[in-house]
Amino acid sequence: MFILDEMEQFQCEQLVFCQDPSSGLRAIIAIHNTKLGPALGGCRMWKYATEEQAVTDALRLAKGMTYKAAVSGLPFGGGKAVIIGNPNTDKTMAKFRSLGQFVQKLQGRYITGIDLGTTVQDMDWVNIESEYVTDITGSLGAFGEFTAEMTAYGVFLGIKASVGKVYGSELLKGKTIAVQGLGKVGYFLCRYLHEAGVQLVVSDINADRVKKVLNAFGARPAAVDDIFGEACDIFAPCALGGILNDQTIPQLKCKIVAGGANNQLAEDRHGEALHSSGILYAPDYVINAGGLITTAVDLGGFDAPYAKRRVERIYPTINSVFQLSETLSICTAAAADRMAEQVLAKA
């Protein structure tokens, strides 16, 4: 991997490699863009197979955060930290305090928070060494998993907008939705959908999560590898990124893809592939912006009711993406990119 070439491809401002032998920390901080404000984005902990995978993930996620903030009208840029390690076995206070020292040295260019594989406790450890962290004890992010719920709420609103676009009515009752990934966001999304009368088909690599959703919402299980081919109205990816690709898109039997996962498209061209297949795609960084919006609201000193009202703006934003796609005869992924890039160009 040629690091500077990778950074140029993703238009990334700064890439910070962090290693600390005393704690065992091996991490990467990607600061994608700070035109609109300091780079805001969570810290992910994952057992990456290679360092190259960790770098690419950090770069892709950081760019997504920039675009997410831009289309959501937030005064922040995009960034992301990734820690190489198993979140179930490799966590220590020393590692997160060490990360906090690296974050502090950036003097506010990057603000971190929770993400896949990290928790409020981890951010409390980061906070011992750095003031540039959110989702700590006492924040909205620590309040009853509120950030994850608001992410799911935004996805739910985006699904309603998508259903209205395709079916002419936003009524969800009787629709079948396949949800891939039943972590915090996936679980809360299933709750919203169940309350709206949706028939749920679900999958997750964690059997306990599947059982929990089956018992709570009367869902039907699907094998992890079979969920893409389930006959449904909407496919909602809420797990890892890169799942919409040359192998999975031909399997889809739905009219809409709308879910909470980041970086759902393996490559930009897969947005056009969905469009050509007649599938309406709700761009991930638009529909799943509820968590980032909540964090931004928290940093601004506002409360939970205001955060929920702010998340509700996702609905008209998604409709604006659909309208621009139709007006310019381009796929929705390209339309969302154009909207974000127009905001950045004016900064």
Please enumerate, by residue number, every residue annotated as part of a binding site for NAD(+): 181-186
Distances (CA, A) of 256 to 160, 235, 262, 286: 11, 6, 17, 15
Residues counted in the chain: 347
Annotated binding site: 181-186
Distance between CA atoms of residues 117 and 141, nearest Å: 15
For residue 254, CA distances in Å to 9, 59, 261 come to: 32, 30, 17
What letters, b where the CB count within 10 A reaches 16 and e where it falls short, cover 46-61? bebeeeeebbbbbbbb
* Cross-strand pairs, 110: 39
Four-residue CA torsion sign, 191, 195, 196, 202: positive
Residue of 63, 68, 80, 255 marked active site: 80
Active-site annotation holds for 255: no
For residues 90 and 85, give the distance between their C-alpha atoms in angstroms, rounded to a whole number.
Answer: 6
Helix (H) or strand (E) holding 81: strand 77-84
Cite the active site residues.
80
